[in-house]
């Protein structure tokens, strides 16, 4: 099957290119970039020299021209929110499958999206789009949609450990606190003083407090699984590392819930899933152990003194938090092995 990427020159786009070039069941047939149109892929991503990237050229980012390509049935959108919706409108109308790595279709409620992101550029597509976190989304999505929204990196690190517990009633729906630390690549490829090496080395700081955009996605998905509103205090931090996310969740244990029942819920939710690793209680995940992988490592302890579960997770923000997860979605959508091209 031939696939294409719109916006392949950012950090997530680069990882997506590498994954698709080595995927055993697809051919990367088109990559777009207004800035690099006409250049060889390997000229922009030198790590790919000596591969097919030497002869694959970036093309312009004209949505109508891309939609007219009958040879490409699935497109990945590795674009900022807003821009992605403009391409999605044209590609979906032409009957193409679309996997969007931006936030444009992660939030189903239009009012919530506008509260956090502003004007939506394709609200008419929201009813036919689906937020797809492969381990948690009902498999029926594969036959129901033309547009899949890949989850964000922070939400993945939060929802994978927390969603099964909320659904099983093992934690309270309020007073949940999520503290996350992200590598600098999570901010995208940009030339800003705040992201210079000298500014970020030996430095960690909180940002986006109270109303970080990913909070909309987190609360909506948890509320859907709980069948009632779930309120989360989300505190993101920028960490002095290139990639990776570490998340610590403090959630009040429901009456009667134990660490054994928590792990039982996780085992039931993730049995047979190749990309969720349950660590023993007391062994906390390390971002270094998931870098370059599509895996989420999770663990938990129960604090008898406070009555809280303390839950931790680690993932690579560019792989399971973005491009790897998008490829995982493609694999499931197209009937390939779930782990194809990801191990």
- Does residue 86 lie in a domain region? yes
Residue 334 above 80 pLDDT? yes
- Nearest-angstrom CA–CA distance, 80 and 318: 15
Structure tokens, 165: 């517990």
Residue 332 above 70 pLDDT? yes
- Does residue 332 lie in a domain region? no
Q: What does residue 294 show for φ and ψ, rounded to 5 degrees?
A: -100, 25
- Does residue 210 lie in a domain region? yes
- Nearest-angstrom CA–CA distance, 84 and 80: 6
Q: Give the pLDDT mean for 43-51.
A: 94
Residues 171, 311, single domain; the answer is yes
Q: Give the pLDDT mean for 287-314.
A: 98
Structure tokens, 208: 């986006």
Residues 201, 99, single domain; the answer is no
Q: Give the pLDDT mean for 201-217.
A: 92
How many structural domains compose the chain?
2
- Does residue 324 lie in a domain region? no
Which residue out of 41, 99, 153, 184 is catalytically annotated?
153
Residues 53, 162, single domain; the answer is no
| In contact, 69 and 30? CB cutoff 8 Å | yes
Residues 162, 307, single domain; the answer is yes
CA 202 to chain centre: 27
Least confident of 10-14, 90-94, 154-158, 292-296: 10-14
In the prediction, which pLDDT does 9 show? 77
In the prediction, which pLDDT does 191 show? 67
| In contact, 146 and 97? CB cutoff 8 Å | yes
Task: Report the percent of the chain where pLDDT is more than 90.
Answer: 89
Question: Mean pLDDT in the chain?
Answer: 95
- Nearest-angstrom CA–CA distance, 148 and 195: 31
Range of the domain at 108: 2-150
pLDDT band at 219 (very low <50, low <70, confident <90, very high): very high
- Does residue 191 lie in a domain region? yes
In the prediction, which pLDDT does 190 show? 64
- Does residue 304 lie in a domain region? yes
Q: What does residue 58 show for φ and ψ, rounded to 5 degrees?
A: -65, 140
Residues 312, 163, single domain; the answer is yes
Residues 168, 262, single domain; the answer is yes
Residues 247, 179, single domain; the answer is yes
Residues 224, 212, single domain; the answer is yes
- Does residue 330 lie in a domain region? no
What is the full DSSP assignment across 209-239?
-S--THHHHHHHHHHHHHTS---EEEEEEE-
Residue 100 above 70 pLDDT? yes
pLDDT band at 35 (very low <50, low <70, confident <90, very high): confident
| In contact, 18 and 328? CB cutoff 8 Å | no
Domain of 64, CATH number, reads: 3.40.50.720
Residues 158, 299, single domain; the answer is yes
| In contact, 168 and 162? CB cutoff 8 Å | no
Residues 104, 186, single domain; the answer is no
Residues 51, 172, single domain; the answer is no
DSSP 96: -
Residues 260, 281, single domain; the answer is yes
Residue 198 a catalytic site member: no
Domain of 248, CATH number, reads: 3.30.360.10
Task: Give this prediction's pTM.
Answer: 0.95
- Nearest-angstrom CA–CA distance, 332 and 343: 15
- Does residue 88 lie in a domain region? yes
């Amino acid at each position: 099957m031939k696939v294409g990427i719109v916006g392949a020159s950012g950090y997530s786009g680069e990882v997506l290119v590498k994954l698709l070039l080595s995927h055993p069941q697809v051919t990367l047939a088109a990559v777009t970039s207004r800035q690099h149109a006409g250049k060889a892929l390997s000229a922009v991503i030198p790590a790919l020299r000596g591969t097919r990237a030497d002869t694959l050229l970036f093309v312009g980012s004209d949505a109508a021209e891309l939609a007219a390509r009958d040879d490409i049935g699935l497109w990945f959108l590795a674009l900022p929110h807003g821009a992605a919706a403009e391409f999605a409108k044209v590609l979906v109308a032409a009957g193409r499958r679309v996997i969007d790595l931006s936030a444009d279709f992660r939030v189903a409620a239009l009012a919530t999206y506008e509260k956090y992101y502003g004007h939506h550029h394709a609200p008419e597509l929201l009813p036919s789009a689906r937020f797809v976190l492969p381990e948690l989304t009902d498999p029926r999505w594969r036959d129901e949609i033309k547009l899949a929204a890949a989850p964000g990196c922070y939400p993945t690190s939060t929802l994978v450990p927390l969603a099964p517990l909320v659904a099983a009633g093992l934690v309270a729906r309020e007073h949940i606190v999520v503290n996350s630390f992200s590598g600098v690549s999570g901010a995208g490829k940009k030339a800003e003083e705040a992201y210079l090496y000298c500014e970020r080395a030996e430095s960690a700081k909180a940002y986006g407090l109270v109303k970080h955009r990913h909070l909309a996605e987190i609360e909506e998905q948890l509320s859907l699984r709980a069948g009632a509103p779930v309120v989360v205090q989300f505190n993101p931090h920028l960490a002095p590392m290139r990639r990776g996310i570490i998340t610590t969740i403090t959630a009040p244990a429901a009456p009667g819930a134990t660490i054994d029942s928590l792990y039982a819920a996780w085992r039931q939710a993730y049995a047979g899933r190749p990309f969720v690793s349950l660590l023993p209680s007391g062994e906390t995940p390390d971002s270094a152990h998931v870098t370059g992988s599509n895996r989420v490592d999770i663990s938990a302890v129960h604090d008898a003194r406070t009555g809280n579960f303390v839950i931790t997770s680690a993932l690579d923000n560019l792989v399971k938090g973005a491009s790897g997860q998008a490829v995982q979605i493609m694999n499931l959508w197209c009937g390939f092995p779930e782990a194809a091209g990801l191990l």
